[in-house]
Structure 1
Amino acid sequence: MRAVETIEMVDVWRRVIVGDEKSWVLFENGTCVILMEPEEDLAAQATEILREYGPVHPGSEAGDFGTIDLEAAPGWVVYGHHNDVLTYVSPEEVESPEDVMIGLLGRSKRDQDGRGLTVVHVEDKRPDR
C-alpha cells in the first residue's frame, strides 16, 4: 500500500470504527483488527489474531463472509468468522456492487493480509498511553 493509500485507509477506519476508545491495527490490503482487550504490543497481538483468522480455508468457517454497507464512508466492510477482523472494500475496487462480489473481494484481501501480515498502521487508544 502506498503512503497516500495508507493515509486514506486510516481515515476510513477512523470514521467507521464505533467507539473512540478502541485500539486497532491496519494491514497492507485493508484488513483491520480491532483489539477489544489490548495487550502491550498491539501490532504483535493483531498479527497473531490475523495469522489465525485471516487465511481462507475453503469449506471451513474461514471461507464464510458477510458485508456491511457503510454510512460513515463510501464502500463496504467484509466480516468473517472473527468479529474483530474486518476488511474494507472501496467502490472503486468492484465493477458491480453485489454483496457476493464485494464479499469475495474482501475475503481475498483478508486472506492476503493473513498470509502477508504486513502492518501499516497502529491506532493506540489505550487510556494509559
Structure 2
Amino acid sequence: MNHTSAIETWRTLLDPAKSWVLFGHDTCVILMRPDGDLADQATTLLREYGPVHPGTPAGDFDTIELRDAPGWVVTGHHPDILTYVAPDELDDHDHLVVGLHGRTKRDQDGHDLTVIHVEDKRA
C-alpha cells in the first residue's frame, strides 16, 4: 500500500473531527487531546506503546474486520494506536495471522518512528 492510499483509508475509517498521525508501516495514532506539535505528541505515544514485548500487555492484539474499507485494523494495548493491514499484504487472512502481522507492523513503527502524515483537525 502506498502512503496516499493509506492516508485515504484512515480518512475513511476515522472520525473526521479527530486529529491523527500516520507512521511508515500504517500505524495510526489518534490524538484525543491534540496539543502542540502533533507529530511529536504521537511519536511519544508510539515510542512507549508501539514496541512489542511478548508476555506483556504490549504483546496483546485484536483484529477488527473492516466494513468501510478492505482489510483489517489491528489494535493493541493502547486504544488510540491502530494498525491497518490490507488484504494484499497476506495470502492467509486468518485473524491470528492478520493480527500477528499488524502487531509486527506496530512494533516496526514503534522503533522506526517515521511520520508519514499529520491530520490536524484542531479548530
CA distance in structure 2 between the partners assigned to 1:12 and 1:104 by the alignment: 21
Q: CA deviation at 1:94?
A: 1.2
Runs (4+) of structure 1 exceeding 6 A deviation are none
Task: State, as a whole percentage, how many aligned pairs show the same letter.
Answer: 59
Look up the match of 1:8.
5
CA distance in structure 1 between the partners assigned to 2:63 and 2:34 by the alignment: 26
Q: From 7, 25, 28, give the equivalent of 1:29.
A: 25
The reply on whether 1:70 has 2:77 as its aligned counterpart is no
Give the root-mean-square deviation of aligned CA atoms.
Answer: 0.8
Q: Which consecutive residues of structure 1, in runs of 5 or more, have no partner in the other structure? A: none
Look up the match of 1:109.
105
Q: Which consecutive residues of structure 2, in runs of 5 or more, have no partner in the other structure? A: none
Tell me the SS of whatever aligns to 2:2.
helix
Matched residue count: 123
Q: CA deviation at 1:116?
A: 0.3
The C-alpha deviation readout for 1:16-37, integer Å capped at 9, x for no partner, is: 11x2210000000000000000
Instruction: Give the TM-score normalised by structure 1.
Output: 0.94
CA distance in structure 2 between the partners assigned to 1:64 and 1:55 by the alignment: 11
Instruction: Give the TM-score normalised by structure 2.
Output: 0.98
Q: Which amino acid aligns with 1:13?
A: W
Look up the match of 2:51.
55
